Structure 1
Amino acid sequence: MVTTRLTEALGIEHPVIQGGMMWVGRAELAAAVSEAGGLGMITALTQPTPDDLVAEIEKARALTDKPVGVNLTILPAIDPPPYDEYRRAIIDAGVTIVETAGANPEPHMDMFTAHGVRVIHKCTSVRHALKAQSVGVTAVSIDGFECAGHPGEDDVPGLVLVPAAADRLTIPFTACGGFADGRGLAAALALGADGITMGSRFMCTQESPVAPTVKERIVAGTERDTNLIFRQLRNTARVAKNAVSDEVVEVLARGGDFADVRELVAGRHGRKVFEDGDLDAGIWTVGLVQGLIHDVPAAGEVVRRTVADAEQILRDRLAMFASPAAV
């Protein structure tokens, strides 16, 4: 067992968190990760209403009695979801761990803290992590440039970002972006992190609700099969390389603006990819780490073998430095 500040702060067995992913973070996947000793995440906004979120939380609780978290991503929108209602639903459902992302978590901290909810905030820079620490979050997730979704605009990979965070933070943190197995967990711990958060790896598991063709594409994909879109708009996103994301890159490179790609990147099309398996129906997120994903195991197996392999790697490496007498 690998015990870290993270496992102690969250009351979990293994320092492995399933990242919150739109259309992916549902009860079956989250419960499977938690039951294996990690921390599974239900994605709040995947559920159409706060009442649906409560029902999804109860579904997960029927599958495991271990902690399950909820991801609440807060982004600017012309017609924003009722965030306050989702937040209240999370609290009323008795959830004690929330992953926030997308915006400063400070407006939500008083209510979450008052109800004993521990907050993990996703950050793509040390400066943002320090701000989150200052407003009282329990932990942060440090997302390197390798990650799926929005990696920020600094383009700093995890090999630098993780130890930079370790030098400045006093709260526990996970490393995210580029992690798929025990080698990654061992490396993250060596760099100063207290655990890892994995998204794409858990998306490609048996309990993941995405279509089989998506999982097959991830297994077949390499670390070169993603696109960075919205670079010119200073809202970079890493998505799977397909006909749609290629077109988005080309339109923006020619001087187009968001209005020219709005329909191409509409979220309903990405949902269709995950639900129907049409890989060119829209844009969908996956990280560089797909180059390290070669199978579709059970989510619990991912947790168990990641931790077991990390322990073995760390023991083997430490043995290299043992004195002859000790050996």
Structure 2
Amino acid sequence: MLRTRFTELLGIDHPVVQGGMQWVGRAPLAAAVSNAGGLGILTALTQPTPEDLRTEIRKTRELTSKPIGVNLTILPTISPVPYDEYVKVAVEEGITVIETAGANPEPYMPLFKEHGVKVVHKCTAVRHALKAEKVGVDAVSIDGFECAGHPGEDDIPGLVLIPAAADKLSIPFIASGGFGDGRGLAAALALGADGINMGSRFMATQEAPIHDKVKQAIVDGTELDTILNFRPLRNTVRVRKNGVSSEAVDILDKGGKFEDVQHLVAGARGRTVFEDGDIEAGQWTVGMVQGIINDVPSAADLVNRIVADAEEIITGRLAGLVQQSVNA
């Protein structure tokens, strides 16, 4: 068993986290990951109202007695979002782990501390992680440039970002972006992280609440099949390369404004992709890691396989290399 500062902090068995994903982080998937010994996370804003989040939390609790988390991503939106109410519901329902992303979580920290909530803040830069540490979060998730969704504007890949974070942070942190198997977990631990956070890999599991055609598209995809949108707006997002996302990128590259692509990138269209299985129906998020995703296992089989493979790499192949060096 791999024990790290992160597993000890949250009381979980394995240093594997299912990240918050819009339209994907629902009860069946989160519960399956937690039951397997990782940390499953519900995505608050997937639920249309705070009361719907309450219902989803209770549904998840019926499926698992293990720790679960709630993701709250605070970003500018077309329509106002009652973030405070989502936070209140999560706290009222006894959620003990909240993953924050986007805006600084500092305004919510007194409430979280009062109720014993462990806060994991997602960052794309070491400077942001240090600021999060300063405001009192318990851990951070460091997103490398390979990640799906918002990779930030610095374009620093995990191979550099993870050890850079390890050199500066005192609190536990997990690595995000490009992780999908035991090799990645072993590498993250070697680079100084205390675990990994995976989004795209958990999309291609049996419990993920998305259409089988989308899961197959991820299996069929390669590391070349993503595209960066919103770059000229400095709100970069990594999504699957298709007709819709390519058209939006072209419009913005030619000087277009967000209003010119809003009809293409609307979240409702991305949700249609996941529900109907038409991968050309809208813009949808997936990472470069799809290049090493080759099957659609259960969440439990995936977590167990990743941990077992990482343990074998650490105690087997890598240890063997050290022994060979000594004998030489």
- The one-letter code matched in structure 2 to 1:223 is E
Aligned equivalent of 1:63: 63
SS where residue 264 of structure 1 aligns?
helix
Residue 83 of structure 1 corresponds to 83
Matched with 1:18 is 18
- TM-score normalized with structure 1 length: 0.98
Secondary structure of 1:249's aligned partner: helix
| Correspondences of 1:77-226 after superposition (within 5 Å) | 77-226=77-226
The one-letter code sitting in structure 1 at the alignment partner of 2:246 is D
> Cα deviation per residue 1:183-239 (whole Å; 9 max; x = unaligned)?
000000000000000000001100000111100100000000001001111110000
Residue 320 of structure 2 is matched in structure 1 by: 319
Q: Counterpart amino acid of 1:301?
A: D
**Cα distance in 2 for residues equivalent to 1:130 and 1:297:** 36
Partner-residue secondary structure (3-state), 1:174: strand
Give the whole-Å Cα distance in 2 for the aligned partners of 1:323 and 1:295.
34
The alpha-carbon deviation at position 76 of structure 1 amounts to: 1.7
Unpaired runs of at least 5, structure 2: none
Show CA shifts across 1:287-309 (max 9, x none).
00000000000011111000000
Change (3 A) 1:276 1:322: same
Q: CA shift at 1:79, angstroms?
A: 2.8
Equivalences, count: 327
Q: Deviations over 1:262-320 (max 9, x none)?
A: 11111110011011111111100000000000000001111100000000001121122
Matched residue type, 1:286: V
Letter aligned with residue 83 of structure 1: Y
SS at match of 1:120: strand
Aligned partners of 1:179, 1:84: CA distance in 2, in Å?
A: 32
The TM-score with structure 2 as length reference comes to 0.98
The residue number in structure 1 matching 2:273 is 273
RMSD over aligned CA atoms reads 1.3
Amino acid at match of 1:58: R
Query: Can you give the 5+ residue segments of structure 1 that lack an aligned partner in the other structure?
Result: none
Change (3 A) 1:309 1:89: same
State the distance in 1 between where 2:78 and 2:233 align. Answer: 17
Alignment of 1:230-309 (within 5 A): 230-309=230-309
Q: Deviations over 1:149-193 (max 9, x none)?
A: 000000000000000000000000000000000000000000000
SS of residue paired to 2:249: helix
* Residue of structure 1 equivalent to 2:52: 52
Task: Show structure 1 runs of 4+ deviating over 3 A.
Answer: 323-326
- AA of the residue aligned to 1:183: R
